[in-house]
Structure 1
C-alpha cells in the first residue's frame, strides 16, 4: 500500500473544513504536555515526522484516492482544497511550524510546538495535520522516560563510582525492538532512547538516528548470548557453551555478555564462571558480563554480586565501594524505573559500586507508555475570521485539567532562566523566543544532529 498523506488523518477531520465559521482565513494551534508521569519533557522526534512525512509533496493521485475513499467511507471531502494545494502550491503544505530546539528539557504545561496556516484558502490544513503531528508524543515520551532513568542511574554512580560520566552512556541498553507494535515504533522509540544513552540492540532505532539525525554511528553493542545459544549445547554441556563464548569473543579489552539462568543460575555463577572458567576469564583480558534473566531483580542481582565477589574478588574504589575483578552484571528482565532503583540501592547497601551493574530495558522503555503518559494534546488557540484575530480555548467544566491556552503563543525564558509560555499581542514572535521555525510551506527549515540533541539534553 502506497503512503498517502491525505489519508493519514482521523476520518472525522475530512468534514471539518465545512464546520469553521464563514470568513475564517487562519488557524493557530499548539502542542503541549498537560502534565502526567514526569514534571519535564525532553523534546525530540519532530524532525523525523517533518522529514519523513510532511516534506513529501502531495500528488493528485493522493487526492483522487482520498476522494474515492471518503465517498465510500461516508464523509464529505475537500477535493477542491486539496487539488488547490497540488495545483497552486506544488503539493507543498502551506503551514508554518515552530518548535523548541530538539533535546530541550522543558517543564510540562508549555507550548513545545506551534502550527499556523500560511494560505487563507486552505486554513483548515492546520487541524487536518493534527493526527500526524501529535504522534510526536511518542519519541518525546520515550526520550523523557530514558532521561529520567539516566538521572536515577547518575545519582547512584555519583555516590559510588570513580568516573560516573565516563560510564553512564552505556548503563541502560535498549532491548525493546521485539516488544513494540511495529518496526517504525522500534525505529522511532529506539532513536529517542539514544538522546540519552549509547547502548542499543534495537538496530533499526540506531539506523533511524544515523539517518534522520546525521550521526555516523549512534550506538554500540557487544557479542551476547541468548538462551537458544546456551541450551543448544544441552544441560550437561552448559559449561562448554560458556567456554565457547570465551573462546570466540574474550580478547584483551573486549566485553561480552552471557545469559546464565538457563538452568541453575547459582551453580553457573559459583561453579562454572567462578570455578571451571575463572582462569580463562582472568587470562583473557576481557570483561564478562553475567546476565541473570529471571527472579526478583534486586534479590537476584545482589546474590550474584556476592558470589562473583567471593569467586573473583574486588577492589575498593576511591569512594569506598567494591568493584568486581574481570566480571560485571547486567539485569535485563523485569526492569522498570522502580526495580532499577531497587537494584542499585540494594547493591550500594551491600557495598558494591553501581559501576558493577548495567541494565537492559525492553517494553517498559519503548512500549509501556501512551499519549496520556504525558497527557499530550494539540489545540487551536487563535482563529482569524473576517480579518479579526480571535483568541479561542476550551474549558470543560467536567475536567479543568483540559483547559487549553488561548491566543497566539510563544515560548520564552523568564528572569530565572525557566521556560514559560506567553501570549503574544501581535503576530510576530518575540526576539527572545525559544521556538525556531523548523518547517514552512513544505520545506524543512532547520535540522539538528544527534550530537546537538544529546548536548542540549545533557546540559
Structure 2
C-alpha cells in the first residue's frame, strides 16, 4: 500500500466529523496489555514505519485517489484536512511521536509509543494512524519476544550442559520462516525481529531490512544446505553419492554444511551412510557436517539421531559431565519446533547425558507467522484531549463487560521504579528528564535513529 490515506480502517475516514468541536489535540498511546503469552516483551519495529511510511509525503494524487475510493466505498472524506497536509505541511503529517528506545525489554502494560498531533486543526490525525502504526509495531515486537523466549529456554539448557553457553547461543535458533509468511514485507520485518535475539537465518529479506532500516552491514548468517530436491534428484540408488558430493563441495577450515537425511530412511542414512560408508570421509574433512532430520516425532527423532551419531562417531565428555559429539558432526532439528517442543527436546537430550552443543534448532512459520495482534494484546488508545483553551482533559475507556480492556487516562510516561522495573506514570506527574519515552519523530523529521547493535544490546537484558 503506497497511499497512506488508504492504509487505515474504512471507518476512520469519518472520524474527523466525530471529535468534540473544542478539540485541538488528541494524545494516544500504544501498549501490549497484560496477556497469557508473556509478561514482558522486546519493543521493536517502529523505525521502519517512521522512515518508510511517515517519511513519504502525502501527495495531491494520493488525496484524489483516496477521495474517489471513499466516495465509491460509502465513507465521507476529509478533503480539506488532507489538502491542508499537502499544501501547509508539504505532505508530511503534523505529528509528534515519543517512544521507548527500540530493543527495550518492557513489562506488558507499559506504554511503548505515544502520538499527538501538532496542528491544532487536525485532532483527528492522531488516531487515524492507528491501523498502520499498530501493524508496524505489534508484529516485529511479538516475533522478537517469541524469539527471546526461545533464547531463554535454549540458554538454560546450554548453561546446564555446555562449557561455552554464550559462545554457542547466537546460532542455536535458525529462522527458516520466509516461505511460511504472508508477504515479503512480513519476511523482512519478522525475520529482522528474530535477528535481534539470534544471528542465524535463511530469510534474506531480513538482512535487507536490517541494512535498510537500522544500518546493519550484515545482521545474520547462514551455511550451504541441502534440500530434498537436491538429494532425491540423484535417485535412491545414489543417495551415498549425493551425500559425498555435499562433503566434497563444501569443505574447508571452519566450513559447515547441513544435509537433510530423511528422504528415504533416516536411520539408515545416519548409521549406514554417514556412520559407515562415509564415516572416514566425514572424519577426515576440515569442516562440520550437520545432519538434518525433517520428519517424524520432533523430539524423539532428533534425540535418536544424536544417539546414533554418538554410536558411530563418538566424542568426548565435557567439564560439566555431558557428552559432546566428535566436532565433525552435529544435528539440526527444524521440523515441528516451537517453545514446547524445543524445551522437551532439550530435556530429552539432557536426560540422555548429551550437551546442547550437539544440536541447533530451526523454526519456520511457527516463528514468523504463528502470532497475531492478540498474542501480546496490542492496542492503541486515546489518553487525553487538549481543548481550545490549551487545557488537557483525561480520556479513557472502562468497559463493565471486560475490565481487562480498560485504558490509561492522561498523557503517558514510562519511568524506572524503585525496584528497577519500568512502569507507567502520568506525564504530568514526572520530573523533567524522568520519562524514558523520548521524541523520535516530529512533523516529518526523524529525531532519533537506532542502530541494530544498540537494539541487540538492549534486548540482551531479557
Alignment TM-score, normalising by the size of structure 1: 0.98
Aligned partner of 2:55 in structure 1 is 55
**C-alpha separation in 2, matches of 1:294 and 1:54:** 45
**C-alpha separation in 2, matches of 1:40 and 1:49:** 22
Residue 385 of structure 1: how far off its partner (Å): 2.5
Aligned partner of 1:143 in structure 2 is 144
> Are 2:378 and 1:376 equivalent residues in the alignment?
yes
Residue 430 of structure 1: how far off its partner (Å): 3.9
Aligned partner of 2:108 in structure 1 is 108
Match 1:415 to one of 400, 415, 418: 418
Moved >3 Å (runs of 4+): none
Aligned partner of 1:305 in structure 2 is 306
Aligned partner of 1:77 in structure 2 is 77
Q: Which runs of 5+ in 1 are unaligned?
A: none
Deviations 1:59-103 (A, max 9, x none): 111111111111111111110011001111111111110111011
Give 1:194-343 correspondences, 5 Å limit.
194-325=195-326, 326-343=328-345
**C-alpha separation in 1, matches of 2:195 and 2:253:** 27
Q: Contact 2:257–2:288 at 8 Å: present in 1 too? A: yes
Aligned partner of 1:8 in structure 2 is 7
> Are 2:17 and 1:18 equivalent residues in the alignment?
yes
**C-alpha separation in 2, matches of 1:170 and 1:355:** 11
What secondary structure, in the 3-state scheme, does the structure 2 residue paired with 1:188 have? Answer: helix
Match 2:357 to one of 355, 364, 371: 355
Residue 400 of structure 1: how far off its partner (Å): 0.7
Please provide the CA RMSD for this pair.
1.1
Alignment TM-score, normalising by the size of structure 2: 0.98
Q: Which runs of 5+ in 2 are unaligned?
A: none
**C-alpha separation in 2, matches of 1:448 and 1:424:** 24
**C-alpha separation in 1, matches of 2:427 and 2:211:** 37
Residue 429 of structure 1: how far off its partner (Å): 7.5
Deviations 1:427-446 (A, max 9, x none): x8841111121111011111
**C-alpha separation in 2, matches of 1:331 and 1:153:** 13
Q: Contact 1:31–1:376 at 8 Å: present in 2 too? A: yes
Residue 297 of structure 1: how far off its partner (Å): 1.5
Residue 217 of structure 1: how far off its partner (Å): 0.5
What secondary structure, in the 3-state scheme, does the structure 1 residue paired with 2:374 have? Answer: helix
Deviations 1:292-321 (A, max 9, x none): 001111111111111100100010111111
Deviations 1:341-382 (A, max 9, x none): 111110011010000010110011000110000000000000
Aligned partner of 1:89 in structure 2 is 89
Deviates more, 1:384-393 or 1:293-302: 384-393
> Are 2:406 and 1:403 equivalent residues in the alignment?
yes
Residue 286 of structure 1: how far off its partner (Å): 1.1
Corresponding pairs, count: 457
Residue 47 of structure 1: how far off its partner (Å): 0.4
**C-alpha separation in 2, matches of 1:35 and 1:392:** 20
**C-alpha separation in 2, matches of 1:275 and 1:349:** 27
What secondary structure, in the 3-state scheme, does the structure 2 residue paired with 1:122 have? Answer: coil
What secondary structure, in the 3-state scheme, does the structure 1 residue paired with 2:66 have? Answer: helix
Aligned partner of 1:434 in structure 2 is 436
Q: Contact 1:410–1:429 at 8 Å: present in 2 too? A: no
